[in-house]
A = this chain, B = another copy of it.
């Protein structure tokens, strides 16, 4: 089906666009009362993730309500480690919790590369329903966690300020680490390919914990696998968002991907100098700006757009939208980009 609005895809490929496209990380869920109504009728977050019809519904909500230029499938990066043998719960107000974690080589032996079509069929089903219900209005983004970030949860078993268990595992067990990262990478490639064949028009890799590794560790255990994934995906444009990976930006020039996400702390001018219009940059308004009044939101959004001027750009926040931001403030951000 031909897309009515394909700005995002043209921007990602560096083609001519009439205006900068805009969407928000975490736009599906969290901030919309229409989302909370659906969510509150369920047993929990995971029921929503695993119910394709409802996942599709909350995926489409921001397209209709906020008027963004793309939908992103409502799901969770942790469905991948779960499909590999580590199930998790999403604990209300606390976050994810894995009762089993990886501690030894024996634990890794119990990790399998799943048949994603079988194990994660609910995600592909949600993508198919979404694509059908979107009726070509805007592109649909698929996503996965980058291998290091997934690895971090598999070792740590939950969120952490320091992820020191996962980091020290890299130091203590480099070979086992590479083994596990390899398994995650293979699963992720199959998972993203299946998302694309189900209908995703673009896929984004989230390396949420890139910023806690040293430069050297991120090169060895992070970027290496991001590179492999980018190299394997030819079916759709790829975006890499490695939060906090300031010193890795230079080396990301070599990734075979179309778009690089910038967090709100990354310097736009530095990124422009590095990427020289050879990739599209995505981001990077500070999500906290949306707590300000309309004037502030307009002013900071315009400043951000001006800073990216002359470079391939997709407008977004520099991180997921915060849950307690008013939808009207989000709309103001979106409208400011669209009318710029």
Contacts and interface: CB of A to CB of B under 8 A. Distances in A.
Interface of A: 162, 164, 167-168, 171-172, 211-215, 217, 244, 246-247, 264-267, 270, 286-289, 291-293, 296, 300, 322
A208 to B, nearest CB: 11
A59 B212 CA distance: 29
A171 B270 CA distance: 24
Per assembly, the copies of the chain total 2
A28 to B, nearest CB: 19
Given A214-B265, A264-B214, A164 B246 contact: no
A interface secondary structure, majority: helix
Contact of A292 (B168, B213, B288, B293): B168
A207 to B, nearest CB: 14
Nearest to A284: B214
Nearest to A170: B288
Given A246-B246, A247-B267, A171 B322 contact: no
B164 A288 contact: yes
Contacts of A217: 286
Contacts of A293: 172
Nearest to A267: B247
A286 B296 CA distance: 38
A164 B212 CA distance: 20
A265 B215 CA distance: 6
A252 to B, nearest CB: 15
Nearest to A166: B288
A288 B212 CA distance: 11
Contacts of A247: 246, 265-267, 270
A89 to B, nearest CB: 20
A167 B214 contact: no
